[in-house]
Amino acid sequence: MRISELCDVSGVPLPSIKYYLREGLLPPGERTAANQADYGQQHVQRLKLVRALLEVGGLPVATAQRVIQAIDDDELPLTYVFGVAQYAISDGRVFDEVESGAGLETVDDLVDERGWTVSADNPGRFGAARVLDALDSLGHGHIAEYLPQYAEAAETIARADLATLGHHDDRADMAENVVVGTVLGDTLIQSLRRLAQENESNRRYPVGENQ
């Protein structure tokens, strides 16, 4: 199909498609003439992925480029693809390296207690440490007492994340699954948490009681 047809089929505006091509988010079509190229269903699928990463996952273009490169790199182990996806959603300063502190000690103790195998530079280690330090400074350090429950919930989510890979045999499909499951999964978990919090709040503190 021509680029105009790709625009119609995908629903992505032509200027956006041309931008994605320039930035390497969309692979070039098969050249048929000096200024013409043919595009296939794989381009439609890639456009869906790009839009999801940018619009639903909220990734900057440069970060989406790194993520897509990881998907397309057949030599990159899936564990590394997970790492790329994790860092893609951990660009904020809260995930910058923490060298020491009470929060980091608490996180490391939790990792040891649960027998987790994680790298020292995992952004979650630093993000959790900063959160715990901030909670303590605000006088809400007691929240750390519930870390085991939060960790148990995180383990359940991680098992579900990895279980989804069983739906694919092809490495490229598995790599894309890793990325969308991590990037979009963060938004999904945040959304489900909001629903569950309202439900639990209504259960514990029903409207009309003690008011």
* Tens-digit pLDDT profile for residues 24-54: 899 888 888 777 888 899 999 999 999 999 9
Inform me whether the pLDDT recorded for 65 exceeds 60.
Answer: yes
Q: Are 125 and 118 in contact (CB under 8 A)?
A: yes
Q: Which helix (H) or strand (E) holds 32?
A: strand 30-33
Inform me whether the pLDDT recorded for 101 exceeds 60.
Answer: yes
Mean pLDDT of 60-65: 90
Inform me whether the pLDDT recorded for 20 exceeds 80.
Answer: yes
Ranges 98-102, 114-118, 143-147: which has the least confidence? 98-102
pTM for the predicted model, two decimal places: 0.80
Structure tokens at 182: 């991590």
CATH 1.10.1660.10 domain extents, the chain: 1-56
Inform me whether the pLDDT recorded for 205 exceeds 60.
Answer: yes
pLDDT above 70 covers what percent of the chain? 99
Q: What pLDDT score does 108 carry? A: 96
Range from 11-15, 74-78, 95-99, 153-157 that averages highest in pLDDT: 153-157
CA–CA distance, 184 with 75 (Å, rounded to integer): 24
- Topology adopted by domain 1-56: Multidrug-efflux Transporter Regulator; Chain: A; Domain 2 (1.10.1660)
Could you tell me which residues are beta bridge partners of residue 37? 31
Q: What pLDDT score does 210 carry? A: 57
CA–CA distance, 105 with 206 (Å, rounded to integer): 38
Q: Which helix (H) or strand (E) holds 37?
A: strand 36-38
Amino acid at 71: I
Q: List, in order, residues 6 or more apart from 83 with CB less than 8 Å away.
A: none
Q: What pLDDT score does 209 carry? A: 60
If one counts every other C-beta atom within 10 angstroms of the C-beta of residue 33, the result is: 7
